[in-house]
Structure 1
């Protein structure tokens, strides 16, 4: 069975881009499901799939995040990875779908989990906002704040991979230099800028519409918005990206990983000593003994 990919909200489960991509499991909030039932569901996932990789946005409610860590602790399972992702909600949904695509490939669960950090660098996540006065997740100058009070002002904001903010009609957002598709989630803002201007300038290959995630207004500081994310849709490209990175073994839990941090236990990759400590100690002792014999 493929590694199970889980999310914390049903609106983070985007439609698959092909027939092979499995769906994602749902780890519901404390308000939606009692702890005993949530534990049972997670235990079943682990038993059926072997490993579970759970993604959740940094904007998730504190009680929901505590629930995730509580379940992992109660089950005493080292087969559950909890990945807190600092992407806007739609970006988290895109990343979750990419991990769903990779879960059916010949990658171990550790590789799938640690691939999340790699793939997030290739997601261009942003929004069109009517106001940036409550946007506190990205740096916004006082001058830009003042402009947001002007009636009719709209802003194009890029949160990832590099934060950028422009006033629509007075600049362009830096886009990807590789082929992507675009997913768009409309809020209450009345704007076609994403589809009529941004998409052509980024030369996206296709545009997909989806529902706005429930956490998006809170993340962006306003409901008057349209959220978007450009992404790599082709599983063969995703596979090549992940395969091109050197594989390591976590020194703490022993699971396979790529990058500099384990996706399951969060331990950083420990670089090999060069030279090893024992060899350095022996060399120092040998040098000291030689110096003593020569009377130096």
Structure 2
């Protein structure tokens, strides 16, 4: 059985376009499941999948995060990886889907876990919002805060990979320089800017809609938003990207990894052959095979 990918909310599970991608596993909160049941479920997962990689948002409730650590500690298992991601909810859903796709590509659990640090460089996660007064996860200037009080003002915000904030109609967010698909989740903001302006500007190949994650309003500081995430378009491209990175064993736990840090024990790798950052600027390789970067003048 492939490595299990787990999430902490059902709305972080995106449907897959193919039948090979396995479903995600839901790790419920303490309010929804007693500890004994959570331990039994995790033990069963380890028996069937041998390794479990859990991806959860940095904004998760403290009690829920504590439950994850308690389960791993009680089971005394080094086969459980907990990945706390700063991505917005829709970005985490994309990341979880991509990791699910990788589990059936023949990669070791260590490589899949390490890929959770590489793939976010290729996830452009943001939102159109009506206000930034309560947005505390992306740098916001005092000038933008002041504009936020003006009636009718709307903003485009990019949280990852590089924070950006623009006023709609005045500026444009800088998007990916590779072929991408755009995932859109509509909240209470009435605007077609994401689909009618942003998508053409970013030259996305396709636009797909999905329900808005329950935690999105809290993450962005407003329920009047349209969340979006541009990402690599298919499993084959993601496979080629990860396969193109140098693999090495972790000097501490022995797991295979890519990049400069072990996905399992989190140990930094001295003199890593190919740090994850370098993969963003390759002139050849995976992104030139069907997803060639668009060099803009």
**Aligned twin of 1:197:** 197
- Partners of 1:265 and 1:96 in 2: how far apart? 20
More displaced 10-residue stretch of structure 1: 156-165 or 247-256? 247-256
CA contact (8 A) 2:247 2:256 kept: yes
Tell me if 1:16 matches 2:16. yes
**Aligned twin of 2:244:** 244
- Partners of 1:268 and 1:34 in 2: how far apart? 35
**Aligned twin of 1:117:** 117
Following TM superposition, the consecutive aligned residue runs of length 4 or more in structure 1 with deviations greater than 3 angstroms are none
SS in 2 for 1:121: helix
Runs (5+) with no aligned partner, structure 1: 273-296
Deviations 1:51-72 (A, max 9, x none): 0110001111111111101100
**Aligned twin of 2:278:** none
- Partners of 1:214 and 1:66 in 2: how far apart? 20
More displaced 10-residue stretch of structure 1: 110-119 or 15-24? 15-24
**Pairs aligned (count):** 272
CA displacement at 1:190 relative to structure 2: 0.7
Superposition pairs for residues 280-295 of structure 1, below 5 Å?
A: none
CA contact (8 A) 1:46 1:52 kept: yes
CA contact (8 A) 2:4 2:24 kept: yes
- Partners of 1:252 and 1:43 in 2: how far apart? 25
The normalised TM-score by structure 2 is 0.90
**Aligned twin of 2:164:** 164
SS in 2 for 1:11: helix
CA displacement at 1:271 relative to structure 2: 3.5
Tell me if 1:6 matches 2:43. no
CA displacement at 1:270 relative to structure 2: 3.1
Tell me if 1:41 matches 2:41. yes
Superposition pairs for residues 42-61 of structure 1, below 5 Å?
A: 42-61=42-61
**Aligned twin of 1:179:** 179
Runs (5+) with no aligned partner, structure 2: 273-297
Larger radius of gyration: 1
